[in-house]
Amino acid sequence: MPDTITVSPDLATWMKSIQEKIEIALNNFLPETKQIPERLHDAMRYATMDGGKRVRPLLVYAAGQLFDANKDELARAACALEMIHAYSLVHDDMPCMDDDALRRGKPTVHKKYDEASALLVGDALQSHAFFILSQGKNPPERQLTMLQILAHAAGSQGMCGGQAIDLASVGLNLNRAELEQMHQLKTGALLQAAVLLGALCGKTLSEEDNTALHRYSRAIGLAFQVVDDILDATADSATLGKTAGKDAAANKPTYVTILGLESSRLLAEQLRQEAHNALLPLTASVHRSERLNQLADFIVQRKA
């Protein structure tokens, strides 16, 4: 990840340090493989460790910087989010969904283990995310708010709902508003939860905080998807670490098919600027939005 030319050395170093922290934290928070049932715990680790850019954890830490959040609580929230994200990938890859054999350059869980295990790995990772978050040491009221935000973002009016709309949209001509709604639920909800959870590890949020963070999250959530669609249409599988061009092959609507490649790139750039602007009301008082701004840049400029 941090090897793309557009990432500043400072950001690259910071990202690497968070990615390393997350690997250690996941290792601590996941049940040990030697615990019964061993194969399930082994597969849960296979699905979660060593993987991906850790965009959600990065957002948690970047948002935590805004309000000088407790580092242990950031690690916990980041791991809970990453477990939800990992479970969704395991289930998405299953034959009854996207039927994908490759994920992050490795065999998907149902290929490496079996379908029933993949189903249970996803289910157990979801439970475990809520388990570890319920043990957080933020003030209890705030911890409950964090659980509520995560559960809502994961559920039928968040990620699962977006998946359902995505499935139903294959072969349909979605307009831009419908496509945006689908992605806002499917990917945006969890990215937004990452930003809010990170901030909540620092303090109870004011209305002004909430407005700014929602606006930022919406912008980077959409930008993330627009760029995903651009990369799916332009990069190769080896660079992506997953099957490229599969949305087009599956006849799924994308920003590239609806807007075209150049307009999609313009939109991503607009959203990047909108993300920066959203944080201005906060930076006047705290001057700590540097990482969130850099992540908005990274999300738009990444090459994989």
93-98: which pairs have CB atoms within 8 A and are 24 or more residues apart? 93/118, 94/118, 94/119, 97/163, 97/167, 98/246, 98/250
d(CA 65, CA 38): 37
Buried b (16+ CB within 10 A) or exposed e, 259-290: beeeebbebbeebbebbbebbeebbeeeebbb
Q: Under rule CB under 8 A, which residues in 260-299 are in contact with its own copies?
A: none
Q: Is 235 in the site for its own copies (CB under 8 A)?
A: no
Instruction: Name which of 39 and 302 has its Cβ closer to its own copies.
Output: 39
CA 257 to each of CA 16, 173, 234, 245: distance values in angstroms, whole numbers, following the listed order: 34, 10, 12, 12
Instruction: Name which of 150 and 295 has its Cβ closer to its own copies.
Output: 150
Q: Is 44 in the site for its own copies (CB under 8 A)?
A: yes
Minimum separation from the CB atom of position 116 to its own copies (A): 5
Q: Is 49 in the site for its own copies (CB under 8 A)?
A: no
Instruction: Name which of 165 and 230 has its Cβ closer to its own copies.
Output: 165
Q: Is 6 in the site for its own copies (CB under 8 A)?
A: no
Minimum separation from the CB atom of position 237 to its own copies (A): 24
Question: Which one of 115, 172, 263, 280 is in contact with its own copies (CB under 8 A)?
Answer: 115
Contact 141, 169 (CB under 8 A): no
Instruction: Name which of 41 and 252 has its Cβ closer to its own copies.
Output: 41
Q: Is 101 in the site for its own copies (CB under 8 A)?
A: no
Contact 129, 84 (CB under 8 A): yes
Give the binding site for its own copies (CB under 8 A).
31, 35-37, 39-41, 44, 87-88, 91, 94, 96-97, 114-120, 122-124, 126-128, 130-131, 134-135, 140-141, 143-144, 147-148, 150-152, 154-158, 160-161, 163-165, 167-168, 181
